[in-house]
């Protein structure tokens, strides 16, 4: 497999290149192909975070989900367990569904994680492309937009520090309220965007960083969003902020092995969520097109590194997060993925982008 390197996008500020691993806590399989328990899934994730640091990866991020196949309803608790066993790696959400949560509690949980990890926490806020948390916590989908807008506004106020006075429609007001624990170091905050220009503008308005979730189609279509973000930051009077790409994939020793391991799991997962998420059930041909030209990073270290470097250049991104877990894969395959991504893919991308 090959990837053509496009013309670079212009960037005003050269941020350091960073590379992360994202997971939604997908339930994996044992040696006999049977799903493991939720408890073992969570214990394995702690080991994955430790393995990611050993592999030299910059960040490890767990996205909030509330389903039987993705039982990560308390990501910050798992990240705290990883923090206790690591020293360097950054630990974040990918994403926190702020619309169905309380901004004060999200701030308190991640400021606590920031204290435990000695300043290594970060948070990615999202509206929730998976809406399972809305009925669970009693929120009306008709308020989808208003919930995120108001709660993002309050979260931005909390990050400023000091007593907070805030008024809105979606939660109780705050009047000169001291919210603890206080931040000792900054809590980097991102907005996760799946393709909405309004969300890009929102991230810029609050001066947050931008994480582009590219889960289908070519990354090139997100380059205009990056340009819009940089322009909007300037218009709002903010300094430049990092831009990241998040996409699913799987790294193995060879292209053939990676495809053979990933394709049946990918087909099963997408088929299971196709009705609720509106996804088309993939064919083998459409899958291979996504690997070649679209959002899937599946292959050997060289194949995956070449594609990452090309798409980071196209978009003008300085961060790339691989969503490395796919339900049904074995824990051994995921640990190999982590080792190859950190030990071979990331160094090769740095070399290609030097």
Residue 135 has pLDDT above 80, yes or no: no
Cβ proximity of 116 and 85 under 8 Å: no
Q: Does residue 62 lie in a domain region?
A: yes
Reported as a pLDDT band with limits 50, 70 and 90, residue 69 is: confident
pLDDT tens sequence across 83-92: 999 999 999 9
- Label the pairing between strands 18-23 and 59-62: parallel
**CA-derived radius of gyration, the chain:** 19
Mean pLDDT within 31-45: 93
With CA atoms as reference, report the closest residue to 185 among 237, 139, 121, 244. Answer: 121
Closest residue by Cα to residue 19 from 350, 319, 298: 319
* Domain at 71, CATH number: 3.20.20.30
| pLDDT value at residue 280 | 86
Q: Which domain holds residue 343?
A: 18-353
Question: In the predicted model, is pLDDT for residue 1 greater than 60?
Answer: no
Q: Which residue has the higher pLDDT, 11 or 30?
A: 30
- Say if 12 falls within a structural domain: no
Q: Which of 79, 65, 60, 67 is nearest to 19 (CA)?
A: 60
pLDDT tens-digit readout, 286-305:
999 999 999 999 999 999 99
Question: Quick check: is 228 in a domain?
Answer: yes
Q: Which of 60, 45, 66, 138 is nearest to 99 (CA)?
A: 138
223-235 and 197-206 helices, crossing angle to 10°: 40
DSSP letter for 90, please.
E
Residues with Cβ within 8 Å of residue 211, at least 6 apart in sequence: 94, 95, 124, 190, 191, 192, 193, 243, 244, 245, 246, 319, 321
2 part of a folded domain? no
pTM of the full structure = 0.93
**How many other C-beta atoms lie within 10 A of the C-beta of residue 129?**
13
pLDDT at 132: 75
What pLDDT was estimated at residue 129? Answer: 61
More confident residue, 243 or 32: 243
What is the reported pLDDT for 142?
65
Query: CB of 183 within 8 A of CB of 121?
Result: no
Instruction: For residue 232, give both structure tokens.
Output: 């909007």
Inside any domain, residue 202: yes
Task: With respect to residue 3, please indicate whether it lies within any of the assigned structural domains.
Answer: no
How many CA atoms lie less than 13 Å away from 305 in the CB half-sphere? Answer: 21
Is there a domain that residue 178 lies in? Answer: yes
**8 falls within a domain:** no
**Could you tell me the pLDDT band of residue 278, with boundaries at 50, 70 and 90?**
confident
Q: Give the total number of structural domains in the chain.
A: 1
pLDDT at residue 8 is higher than 90: no
SS3 193: strand
């Amino acid at each position: 497999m090959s990837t053509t390197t496009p013309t670079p996008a212009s960037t005003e500020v050269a941020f350091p290149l960073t590379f992360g691993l994202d997971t939604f806590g997908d339930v994996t399989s044992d040696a006999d192909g049977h799903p493991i328990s939720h408890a073992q899934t969570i214990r394995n994730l702690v080991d994955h975070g430790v393995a990611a640091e050993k592999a030299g990866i910059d960040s490890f991020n767990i996205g909030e989900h509330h389903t039987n196949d993705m039982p990560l309803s308390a990501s910050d608790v798992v990240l705290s367990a990883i923090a206790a066993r690591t020293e360097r790696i950054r630990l974040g959400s990918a994403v926190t569904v702020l619309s169905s949560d309380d901004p004060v509690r999200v701030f308190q949980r991640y400021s606590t994680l920031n204290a435990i990890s000695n300043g290594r926490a970060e948070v990615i806020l999202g509206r929730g492309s998976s809406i399972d948390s809305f009925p669970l916590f009693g929120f009306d989908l008709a308020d989808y937009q208003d919930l995120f807008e108001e709660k993002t506004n309050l979260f931005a106020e909390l990050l400023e520090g000091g007593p907070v006075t805030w008024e809105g429609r979606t939660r109780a007001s705050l009047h000169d309220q001291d919210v603890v624990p206080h931040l000792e170091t900054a809590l980097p905050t991102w907005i996760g965007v799946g393709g909405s220009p309004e969300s890009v503008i929102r991230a810029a308005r609050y001066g947050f960083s931008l994480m582009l979730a590219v889960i289908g189609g070519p990354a090139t279509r997100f380059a205009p969003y990056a340009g819009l973000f940089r322009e909007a930051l300037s218009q709002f009077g903010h300094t430049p902020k990092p831009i990241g790409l998040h996409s699913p994939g799987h790294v193995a020793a060879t292209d053939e092995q990676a495809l053979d391991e990933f394709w049946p799991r990918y087909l099963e997962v997408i088929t299971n969520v196709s009705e609720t998420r509106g996804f088309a059930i993939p064919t083998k041909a459409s899958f291979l097109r996504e690997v070649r030209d679209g959002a899937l990073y599946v292959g050997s270290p060289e194949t995956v590194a070449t594609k990452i470097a090309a798409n980071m250049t196209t978009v003008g991104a300085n961060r790339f997060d691989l969503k490395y877990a796919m339900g049904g894969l074995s824990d051994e395959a995921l640990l190999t993925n982590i080792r190859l991504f950190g030990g071979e893919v990331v160094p090769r991308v740095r070399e290609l982008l030097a």
